[in-house]
Structure 1
Amino acid sequence: MAAERIQPTSVFQPGLIDRLPAVRGRLRANAPLKDVTWFRVGGPAEVLFRPADRDDLIDFLKARPADVPVTVLGVASNLLVRDGGVPGVVIRLLRGFVDMQADGNDVLAGAGALDLNVAKTAQQAGVAGLEFLCGVPGAIGGALRMNAGAYGTEIKDVLVEAEAVHAETGEIRTFGVDELGYSYRQSSLPAEWIFLSARLRGHAGDPEAIGQRMLEIQGQRGDSQPIKTATSGSTFKNPEGHKAWQLIDQAGCRGLTMGGAQVSEKHTNFLINTGAATAADLEALGEEVRRRVFETSGIQLDWEIRRIGIAAGEGGAA
């Protein structure tokens, strides 16, 4: 089946889509990303590629022009897309990457599988130890990349191995957890490797008890985080020995606004789009928070949210 090629109304480089190899999935030029990000802001992808499946992605990577950059998205839960959009090809792993199945005390999950759904699959199979995933927004691919965690457990604690493809060569490799160089909220695996799937290991448990623990986690998350607003998860990493939200609060940033962006009143390590924010508003507010925290505590906050693309007026669509 030929790929659907939707012609753009405005583009970064006229004709880029016509230089790309044929695919079985969908290619779309000047594709809006604003509505797929949890912040609900940002410019378009120069070209958006939704692979039909694993083989479609691998074939595309092997055949794509070497000068065309690629950026991988999952569900864009911990992401800020700048207002000028993202040059090159944005690859979004959705259908074809969401399969999940239990295998004894293991759960096999595609990179596009929602963390919550992986936790539910484990619960239904009587696999305990993966409950924390119901408190992690996003999909498994992003969780693997940033060593996502919550409520005392991180991906590195349950990961057995992960399969990935190299964006430049199409090479497939399976990495053991010890090869991924995990530390707090990051992996040392080069960004050229795109995660395809993971094997996660828990232990035998009672489905009812597992379900109860998941309800507790979701309740705690709802009570403490602004999950019903346009936000994108924790904004900054916790510095060693400190809580980012406490440093932000002590710097007087609770409720601080810039344009349509605001530091959450409920949890100060969350930025929210009050309805009219731009990506520039959110990034500028984050930088102001970092400045004030450093000024009051001498501690430099590091972004946990991934920021991609270019600012409006730098060459992309406005």
Structure 2
Amino acid sequence: MPSGRSRRTSSVGSEFVLIRLLQAQAARPDRQVFKGIGDDTAILKTSSDQWTLITTDLLAEGVHFDPATSSYDDIGYRAAIANLSDIAAMGGTPRFMLVAIAIPPTCSTEQIQRLYRGMMQAADPYRVCLVGGDTSASKSGLFLSITLTGTVQPRRTLLRSGARVGDRLYVTGTLGDSRAGLDLLTATARAGPAKLRPAYTRFLLARHHRPSARIAEGQWLVKHGLSGAAIDLSDGLTGDLRHLCEESGVGAEVLAGSLPISPACRAYALAHGRDSQQIGLQGGEDYELLFTVPRRKQEQFERLAANTDFCFTCIGSITPKRLGLRLRTATGTTQPLPATSYEHFLRPS
């Protein structure tokens, strides 16, 4: 996870403005491309019975991970989960993985082997095959890029662009755990982890080092045709909800009191003088799914979900675009939802 919040813009400017510029410059129409830039994965119409999903993530030492606070096994595991979570957000099945790596002189062969071991520990439960990649030297830290392919039934994928006014907003799991776990590893915490129960400390560290990709939940949503739109929470709820709303052309209202916060995260917040709801809003790399359910399907969704082991929580609703993104507090007042999630190309002030 990128460490700390960034406030001063670099010479590159906004990450997402840059993506739009590159999309306009480089995108080319092709009949096989069902969805290109702008979603969790690209979607290619490769056959009549299965479409192909493709996603890639680049991780850089000092930006996304720090070997001083994470083992190489954990770095590899989290790198694979970042890609698996993209496939989960589309409701797909992960298939094949390619890994490109640039290795600095400070890394040993054993450390790189541990990195790959972590990647495969994340990928093996889904029978993902490592089929290739590239290796290079690096003069300035470790760089790791994973490309993952997957499959989905034609026109059955989840997209960011499918949210409609009146839809209910849901998330899987709990929010903010990875952020709290990272804080326990770094100097951003106001006090050491000794204030927490050991079980809570272990839970939060595990949620940071070994997050889950919600593959089964995404596939379940696609199977039952219950979700209108979805995105995985990699940059944090406030940022990723913005991406979903921008693609769908809508606004949203989040109920602050409905955010699913784990007992461990609440205990961490209390021990360190933090607001657990703010951690849930801002924290990134929980890799939970944020998705919408049409209002007419909400009763059916709740009934079917009750018969699963999945953890789904309704946290708000989709509103007209003109209302923007709002946060409804416990007192019933509303305020603009702050843009507090991580964004690349911003430097600390």
Q: What is the TM-score with the length of structure 1 in the denominator?
A: 0.29
Relative to total residues, which structure has the larger helix share, 1 or 2? 2
Q: What is the TM-score with the length of structure 2 in the denominator?
A: 0.27
Answer 1 or 2: higher relative contact order, Cα 8 Å, separation at least 6.
Answer: 2
